[in-house]
Amino acid sequence: MSTPAAGRGDGTVARATDLVLRYGEHTAMRASSFTIPLGAVTAVIGPNGSGKSTVLNAIAGLVEPSAGSLQVLGRTPLEARRHVSYVLQSVTLPVGTPLTVAEAVGMGRYPNLGLWRRRSDKDRRRVASAIDQLDIADLARRHLSELSGGQRQRVYVAQGLAQSHEVLLLDEPLTGLDLVSARTIDRIIHSERLRGCSVVLTTHDLDEARAADHVLLMNGRVVASGPPEQVLTTANLETAYGLGALHGLSVGFVDDPAHPREPGVRPEHREG
C-alpha cells in the first residue's frame, strides 16, 4: 500500500459542492453535494442511468465538473489521479489479443513505471501479491480470451490492486459473477479497508449497500448520502426507484428493467 497522501484536506476521499456532471448536452448528474469518507467502503446505488458510474468517472478525473466543485483527497481530481485505481465493469480487448493473465495484472504497474523504467523487485512483488490475493496464480500463463467472465473480473481487480493507490474505484464489481469470483472480490473489498485503503463501488444490490460503511443513493442526483441505515430507508428508496420497485427488497436486489434477475437468484450468484 502506498504511503498516505499529504494534504488530504478535510479527511475525505471526495467532497462535492453543488456538483453537476455532463456528457456533452446530456446532464448525467444534477447539482449535488456530498462527501465520501476516507478508510471506508462506500456503495453508490441507484437505478440504471442514475449517474453511478459518472460519479466514479469524476473521482477518477475522467469527467470534469460542468458546475460546482469536486475535491479528491483534498486536491483536484487530476492532481489526485496517481493515488486512485479504477477497475471498470468490463474491458473489451480486440479479438485474438495475446495477453496473458500475468501480463494483464502487470499492466497495473505502468502508472508507476513511466515510459522507460524497468520493473523493480518491488513491482514484481506487488504484481505477485495481487495475483495471489485474487486466487488466479494457476491462471497466470493463460490468455484472457480463455477465461470465464468471473475469472477475467478477478484479473482486472488484481490489476487494480497492483497499481499503487489509496482509493480503489470498482464499477459493479460483483454483478453477474459466479459464486467463487464474487466471494473472492467481496473479500478484497473489505480487506482493502482494513489496510487503510478507501473503496468506492457501484452496485444494484441492497445487501451490498447495507454491508458498506457509507452509501450514496442516486437518481440523476444524490438523493441521500450517509450510513446505510440512514440512507436506505423506504422513503428514500421510493424517491430513487419509484413506488413499484421495492418488491425486490426481500432478496436485497432492487428491481431495475435494465438489470433483470432470475427469481430467487442474486446477480452475483450467476455463472460467469
When pLDDT is averaged across residues 10-36 and rounded to a whole number, the result is: 96
Rounded to 5 degrees, what are φ and ψ at 111? Answer: -60, -25
Measured CA to CA, the distance from residue 183 to residue 189 in angstroms comes to: 10
pLDDT in tens, 51-99: 999 999 999 999 999 999 999 999 999 999 999 999 987 666 666 678 9
CA 98, 179, 135, 215 dihedral sign is: positive
Residue type, 228: P
Measured CA to CA, the distance from residue 67 to residue 19 in angstroms comes to: 6
Q: Exposed, middle or buried: residue 251 (CB in 10 Å: 0-12, 13-18, 19+)?
A: middle
End-to-end Cα spacing for the chain = 30
Q: Exposed, middle or buried: residue 140 (CB in 10 Å: 0-12, 13-18, 19+)?
A: middle
What is the DSSP secondary structure assignment for residue 119, as one 8-state letter? P
With 80 as the cut, is the pLDDT of residue 245 above it? no
Strand order in the sheet with 67-72: 26-37, 12-23, 67-72
pLDDT at 3: 40
What are the residue ranges spanned by the domains of the chain? 12-91+165-269
Longest dimension (CA), the chain: 56
pLDDT at 268: 39
The grid cell for 146 is 480463455
What dotted CATH number matches 12-91+165-269? 3.40.50.300
CB 135 within 8 Å of CB 184: yes
pLDDT band at 45 (very low <50, low <70, confident <90, very high): very high
- pTM for the model stands at 0.85
Can you point out the beta strands (E) in the chain?
Answer: 12-23, 26-37, 41-45, 67-72, 84-87, 167-171, 198-203, 214-218, 222-226
What is the DSSP secondary structure assignment for residue 88, as one 8-state letter? -
pLDDT in tens, 151-204: 999 999 999 999 999 999 999 999 889 999 999 999 999 999 888 899 999 999
Measured CA to CA, the distance from residue 10 to residue 26 in angstroms comes to: 31
